[in-house]
Amino acid sequence: MIKLLVITVLTVVVCMSYFPVLPILTFLLAFFATWLAGRIPMGNLLRRLLIFLVVSVLFMFSMLVLRGLNDEPGIVFRLWLFRWTKRDLVHAVSLGFRILALVTMSMGFVLTTRPRDLVLSLIIQCKVSVVHGYATMATYRFLPELQSQVDSIHLAQEIRGIPWNRGVLSRFTSPFRVLLPLLCVAARRGERVACAMESRGLGREELRTFYKKTSVDKSDWMFLAVSLLLYGLVVAVLVKYDLYRFSFAAIQ
């Protein structure tokens, strides 16, 4: 929960930044922190971030194309039919790297946090009810299995003669064909988990014992203080050199 608190604070601060400098620095800090401190292999981390890198680049490109068709005063760059102001360039780069920063921090949290520890911390430290805590853990564990369920649905449909990703029309309708079976699989899984929780008397007694407990010790508070202090110093330096502005600020 301390780690989640740090990510929440950083998310709020980076979303208030108008210039792209802080989102870029946040993305780099989150990436290297996940790689070095989280001990996640570089190849694994880059492979997981590849799709989001592509989405971010496409987002910045599409935003520049749309903004480049507007005829506004203060043009600083021209390319064929497109014209951009300083505000257009700053907005596109800032929002693109903001997406990467938020995704990298979230991915670092997921890759370095066990679902069991997260649920125990919610129950013990945040006083969340046991029923909601274990429901959260069941959902958290089910999400990584969605891809394997989708692959199973693909194979089942192909065996029954339904083409998959063959032609433009098939590629367009494929996600809709997998949606209903996937919802049915999720509903059946939820029903089995609910029956298992109810058969074990979950929630009948207020006092419960735990095989393993999570606790907040000095190292956790030190991590919180050091993380917020270092990030606060970065923001202070950017404010001093006029590289951090609130999202509602205008470029002069």
The answer, yes or no, to whether residue 40 has pLDDT greater than 70, is yes
User: CA neighbours within 13 Å on the CB side: how many for 70?
Assistant: 13
The residue-averaged pLDDT of 148-158 equals: 82
Please report the pLDDT score of residue 8 as a whole number: 93
Look up tokens 């009810």; give the residue.
129
Under 8 Å between Cβ of 85 and 76 = yes
Segment 235-241 shows an average pLDDT of 89
Here the tokens at position 132 are: 């909601």
Q: Residues of the chain with pLDDT > 90: what percent? A: 24
Distance CA 128, CA 120 (A): 9
> Above 60 in pLDDT, residue 93?
yes
Query: For 220-224, what is the mean pLDDT?
Result: 93
Q: Which of 9-18, 42-51, 83-92, 241-250 has the lowest mean pLDDT?
A: 241-250
**What distance in Å separates the CA atoms of residue 131 and residue 208, rounded to the nearest whole number?**
12
Please check the confidence at residue 183 and state whether its pLDDT lies above 80: yes
- Which range has the top average pLDDT, 132-141, 185-194, 235-244? 235-244
- Looking at the predicted structure, is the pLDDT value of residue 227 above 80? yes
pLDDT band, residue 144 (cuts 50/70/90):
low
| Residue 74: C-alpha distances to residues 44, 113, 213 (Å) | 44, 48, 60
**What are 3's two structure tokens?**
């780690």
Please give the mean pLDDT across all residues of the chain: 83
**pLDDT given at position 250:** 39
Q: What is the mean pLDDT of residues 126-151?
A: 78
Is the overall model pTM greater than 0.85, yes or no? no
Closest listed residue to residue 112, CA positions, set 4, 195, 26, 210: 4
DSSP 65-96: HHHHTS--S-EEEEETTEEEEHHHHHHHHHHH
What pLDDT was estimated at residue 167?
A: 65
Name the pLDDT band for 220 (thresholds 50, 70, 90): very high
DSSP 167-184: SHHHHHHHHHHHHHHHHH
